[in-house]
Structure 1
């Protein structure tokens, strides 16, 4: 967890005292900043604990303090630290009332506590939180890698869903859900196929966010693949935006699934090349060599003698096929039926496959 005003108040070395806004101390602190400007808002980013001595402020003027505090709160300042014993022996009532009305937490900083000590405490807490997030991210990466090696994409998705306290789903190149975790997430993922289609139209890598506070969950969609066209997509659904550790886990999952997708693509291409080589050997009358090359990949090959029929549609006939039905498909069905009646086996090679 990042540092909060409450954690700073409970920091034993700082000796801070809450003077207003005690019910709003759980807000995270992004930084501690010192500014004696009458209007420091142009230099604020939001999330700061502003530290002042009221060097250039009329801290006893109620109207001036109301405007000052209202500006700070509107800029996203999460707290005001006032050093006593410098320009004022105690925090003026006008400032306390203005902070209580806004409300903006007001912390009294004793004279013996330098602002530098508060800045160091905030910086150390932020660094420790970032270190915990990075460490958790590396642990998640190791676990995801282990699951990817031992249980494949399904195991990786199960681990990822646990890491982000949500759900995860994997889509193939056509936008179909091929795996999801937990099991119920498949139905949720199926409702996002339209979003996945839109994502696939963008050059990879691409990502998008679906849903938000008004929806049942927040879903991040990420394309997978190294080419210009995505090979697959990953969906990650959570109740809220991802934290640093969860972000590490998602990025690790994207890298691992991309490797898996590209590896599957390469293996498929290799299998096609082996199949082409085996078929060439069979056509050349070398069944023994074909069996040696095929190995266990295709199981037992057909024993000779065997017959082969090759049918192809000429360019002019393809248009007629599109208009009048799948003639090659009808022929294939007839061949399979005839082979079944004679006790023979038949192999149908789809259009586009390379034979020689």
Structure 2
């Protein structure tokens, strides 16, 4: 246990006598230092027992003595040892009074006790405390290792860690979602640290931070990122009411090492499953559902035996900006989406297929899966991502679902929204979908001959064409709308056909001209 002033005062061989602030002897002594300076503060770190003989102390000036004591207290000195028999036969009364006022413990050091004896006693006690901490840390590491190797190793490891630090512990996945916590009540507390986890995620692993606990608690929380790569693979939070001592830190570091090792060892399995998922998806897209079922075996459970939906996600925005193909954040938005989706699936006991290739994320999940809902929620919260979601289909019809998701994704990009489901494509007007540079260029090229004619000759061909199409080719109604005779309108429509070299009897031609007019309107 840490060395205190009380321990030194009761050390029989040192024969120290307490003269002031005897009720403050519980302070920990981190080191001992000897100085005759009037202000040794700049050379101290705090937590020291300062030894002096008072050679330069103006004991006849109570104000100077009081200032000296205040400077020691401000520097974090936990106690003052005054050696008598050298410069002073007894401890000056002004020093005793000043120490009492400042509540700074004052110890008389007899002439027979050399300062080096006190230094040795403090050094031996500090070394013993450190040895005890290291020994306890090794024993805790062995205990944590045994817990990690048991069934439900992560849960048992967190439970033993929480017991050792007399607090709580929680493990988060890479997205910041709580995977496990100990004791059970700590789960809610840990979930309220999402913002702190987000800040730590931006730092290369391993990284750590000490933060205040959630509002309403007096916790001090130590956060540690887990992993050895650029992106953390998880996070550990340890909450305690008091600052972690040396022994507790050994235990936390052991837990970090074990959890990191577990995560890194599982990476090969995750990579292998990713390759298998990509292969199964290729088979499904090729219409080989039976081969996909055979290859997947039991890995995806009943996923390929019931209606499924396909989700495709891509980053959006201009190249070179965050969240885009050319931006530094482009992998992050897809990675976060994949992590959130997979975490939700694990919690809900769902099976799904996740593939990230060529800057896009593809997810195959059961219709109604919580993982798809979670992905949609994250898409609404995040910037720089577009998602297209298919309708429910039989696993044999995954190629159809893929086409639906592709079209929904294209509509999401055109509309500038985060998520479009296949069923929403037919809702609303098709006109907003024409707001595309290529479509505008086509419309401009198609109508240019008519506009050039109207600019140089009489005829109003563009307006006449628009009215005629709007009235479904009804001559009298269109002519009345234009305020001309129907024979005039017939003549103008023949001129349109001559100039364009296309027949208005062709429904495809009428459709293209109508969409061109709507695009430019």
Give TM-score scaled by structure 2 length: 0.56
Conserved? CA contact 1:156–1:253, under 8 Å: yes
Q: Does 2:316 match 1:225? A: no
Instruction: Return the match for 1:237 from 227, 236, 239.
Output: 239
Q: Give yes or no for the alignment of 1:173 onto 2:264.
A: no
Q: 1:191 to 1:294 in 2, by over 3 A?
A: closer
Q: 1:49 to 1:326 in 2, by over 3 A?
A: same
Aligned-CA RMSD value:
3.4
How far is 1:204 from its partner? 2.4
Distance across 1 between alignment mates of 2:409 and 2:82: 83
Deviation at residue 56 of structure 1 after TM alignment: 2.2
Deviation digits for residues 185-239 of structure 1, max 9, x if unmatched?
1111111223222322333223223316984311222222222112211111111
Matching residue of 1:340 = none
Please state if 1:320 is matched with 2:411: yes
Quote the offset at 1:297 in angstroms.
6.0
Tell me the distance in 1 between the aligned counterparts of 2:106 and 2:198. 51
2:40 & 2:59 partners in 1: Cα distance? 15
- Whether 1:152 and 2:243 are equivalent positions in the alignment is no
How many residues are aligned here?
A: 325
- Cα distance, 1:272 vs. partner? 4.0
SS of equivalent residue, structure 2 residue 211: strand
SS at the partner of 1:171? strand
Match status 1:210 vs 2:211: yes
Q: Helix, strand or coil for the counterpart of 1:205?
A: coil
Higher RCO, Cα 8 Å, sep 6+: 1
1:100-115 counterparts in 2 under 5 A?
100-115=100-115
Equivalence for 2:263: 261
Please say if residues 407 and 422 of structure 2, whose CA atoms lie closer than 8 Å, have aligned partners that are also in contact.
no
Kindly name which structure, 1 or 2, has the bigger radius of gyration based on alpha carbons: 2
**Secondary structure at the counterpart of residue 55 of structure 1:** coil
Could you tell me how far 1:172 is from its partner in structure 2?
Answer: 1.4
Residue 16 of structure 1, CA deviation? 0.6
46-55 vs 181-190, which moves further: 46-55
Judge conservation of contact 2:168–2:238 (CA < 8 Å) in 1: yes
CA contact (8 A) 2:171 2:178 kept: yes
Contact 2:84/2:108 (8 A) holds in 1: yes
CA displacement at 1:124 relative to structure 2? 0.6
| Mapped partners of 2:408, 2:279: distance in 1 | 29
Alpha-carbon shift at residue 153 of structure 1 (Å)? 1.2
Greater helix fraction, Structure 1 or Structure 2: 2
Aligned-pair distance for 1:62? 2.3
Cα distance, 1:86–1:240 mapped onto 2, change above 3 Å: same
- Deviation sequence 1:35-72 (CA, Å, 0-9, x none): 12233233222222111122222324323322222222
Residue 235 of structure 2 aligns to a residue whose secondary structure is strand
1: CA distance between counterparts of 2:301 and 2:92?
Answer: 89
Tell me the TM-score normalised to structure 1 length: 0.79
Query: 1:91-144 deviations in whole A, cap 9, x for unaligned?
Result: 222222222222221111111111100000011111111111111111111111
Q: Does 1:75 align with 2:165?
A: no
Instruction: Please give the residue correspondences for 1:284-295 in structure 2 after superposition, counting only pairs within 5 Å.
Output: none
- List alignment gaps of at least 5 residues for structure 2: 305-394, 424-521
Is 1:197 the counterpart of 2:198? The answer is: yes
Conserved? CA contact 1:60–1:95, under 8 Å? no
Superposition map of 1:1-356 within 5 A: 1-150=1-150, 151-211=152-212, 215-273=217-275, 308-309=396-397, 310-311=399-400, 312-313=402-403, 318-320=409-411, 325-327=420-422
What is the SS of the residue equivalent to 1:269?
helix
Cα distance in 1, alignment partners of residues 102 and 227 from structure 2: 51
Q: Cα–Cα, structure 1 residues 61 and 298, in superposed 2: closer, same or farther, change >3 Å?
A: closer
Distance 1:276 1:319 in 2: 22
Counterparts of 1:70 and 1:47, CA distance in 2: 15
Q: Residues of 2 paired with 1:136 and 1:198: CA distance? A: 33
| 1:10-42 CA-partner distances (Å, limit 9, x unpaired) | 111101111111111111112111112233233
Q: Point out the more displaced range, 238-247 or 193-202.
A: 193-202
Partner secondary structure for residue 59 of structure 1: coil
Q: What secondary structure sits across from 1:51 in the alignment? A: strand
Report if the CA contact (8 A) 2:48-2:78 is conserved.
yes
Deviations 1:312-345 (A, max 9, x none): 33966631377794449xxxxxxxxxxxxxxxxx
Q: Give 1:276 deviation, angstroms.
A: 6.4
Residue pair 2:408, 2:422 contacting (<8 A) in 1 also: no
